[in-house]
Amino acid sequence: MTFNPVYLFELSLTLYFAALIVSVTELFRGTKTTSRIMISFAAAGFVLQTANMALRYMGEGYLPIASLHETAAFFAWCIVAIFLYLEFRYMLGLLGSFIMPTAFILMLSSSMLPRAMKPLPPILQSSWFGVHIGLAFLGNAAFAMACGIGVMYLIQEHNLKAKHVHGLFKRLPNLSVLDDLNYRLISLGFPLLTLAIISGVIWAESALGGYWRWDPKEVWSLITWLIYALILHVRLTSGWRGRKVAILSIVGFAAVLFTFFGVNLLIKSLHSNMMD
């Protein structure tokens, strides 16, 4: 009797939900204990999701990122991976309150999509497949973290201006730390997205006979790339920092989400057809 990987997915979804509940609680009455509990739930969910992906890989023979169910779950996995790294590296405090909702919503969306394991379509049977998708979602995960940091920055700035210097203000990192981390995350995500687009272009030429087809997914990926290129440009050349960059990082991630969900679900796209 083989173990069905769906059970691991459901368990990881449940643990992410538990992490979400604790993270919301932590936002209002957080302590070091609630923070540890939240991180423990998230880490346990991450381990189980990794095991689920490994079992799907063994069952399918390729990295499980070929369907909308798999890509939504993989997106959540990348976000949680970077979140856990940042927590252990910087111990920011309250970061999970702004990140776990996104990871859980992605996993919940994934749970509502068809989960059947199917043979990989011929067009996806390329070494560029895993490279392109992996780079894209790792970059998008970094942008998700930058968005969460941007929201934290705006809240902390509001508290400072309103002179609410207790409670949540004391538990959030200072503005300079948040601004610097926002920049580091965008600086990580941008080259990953750039490499994802380049690998996608090379793959398109070999698989479809053309580098660029103006497919909606390609167009919105380019729009997203331009937004983050603008953020880095104005920061490096015009000295934009703080509030403006925080807002742009939120706008950029909104474009990321539309590129993933909006194009796949609302617009007819070659990429969407390949993942049906």
- Of residues 90, 105, 132, the one with CA closest to residue 23: 105
pLDDT at 17 over 60: yes
Mean pLDDT across the chain: 85
- Percent of the chain clearing pLDDT 70 (strictly above): 88
- Of residues 100, 97, 105, the one with CA closest to residue 156: 97
Question: CA–CA separation, 195 vs 48, rounded Å?
Answer: 29
Contact (Cβ atoms closer than 8 angstroms) between residue 186 and residue 149 = no
Q: How many Cβ atoms from other residues are within 10 Å of residue 81's Cβ?
A: 16
Average pLDDT over residues 182-192: 95
Q: How many Cβ atoms from other residues are within 10 Å of residue 115's Cβ?
A: 15
Q: What are 224-264's pLDDT values in tens digits? A: 999 999 999 998 888 888 889 999 999 999 999 898 887 76
Question: CA–CA separation, 119 vs 66, rounded Å?
Answer: 10
pLDDT of residue 147: 95
Q: Where does the pLDDT of residue 266 fall: very low under 50, low under 70, confident under 90, or very high at 90 and above?
A: low
Question: What are the tokens at 217?
Answer: 């997914």
Question: What are the tokens at 79?
Answer: 């976000």
Question: CA–CA separation, 45 vs 209, rounded Å?
Answer: 41
pLDDT of residue 189: 96
Average pLDDT over residues 136-145: 95
State the distance between the two ends of the chain, measured CA to CA, in whole angstroms.
29
pLDDT of residue 1: 41
pLDDT of residue 270: 55
Question: What are the tokens at 73?
Answer: 């779950």
pLDDT of residue 73: 94
Question: What are the tokens at 267?
Answer: 């617009």
pLDDT of residue 203: 79
pLDDT of residue 210: 63
Q: What are 196-224's pLDDT values in tens digits? A: 999 888 877 776 666 667 778 888 889 99
pLDDT at 275 over 60: no
Q: Which of 148 and 172 is assigned the larger pLDDT?
A: 148
pLDDT at 14 over 90: yes
- Of residues 136, 271, 252, 272, the one with CA closest to residue 198: 136
Sole residue written with tokens 């976000």: 79
Residue type, 201: V
Label residue 104 exposed, middle or buried (CB < 10 Å: 0-12, 13-18, 19+).
buried
Could you list the beta-strand ranges (E) of 166-258: none
Q: Where does the pLDDT of residue 114 fall: very low under 50, low under 70, confident under 90, or very high at 90 and above?
A: confident
Domain locations in the chain? 1-113, 122-276
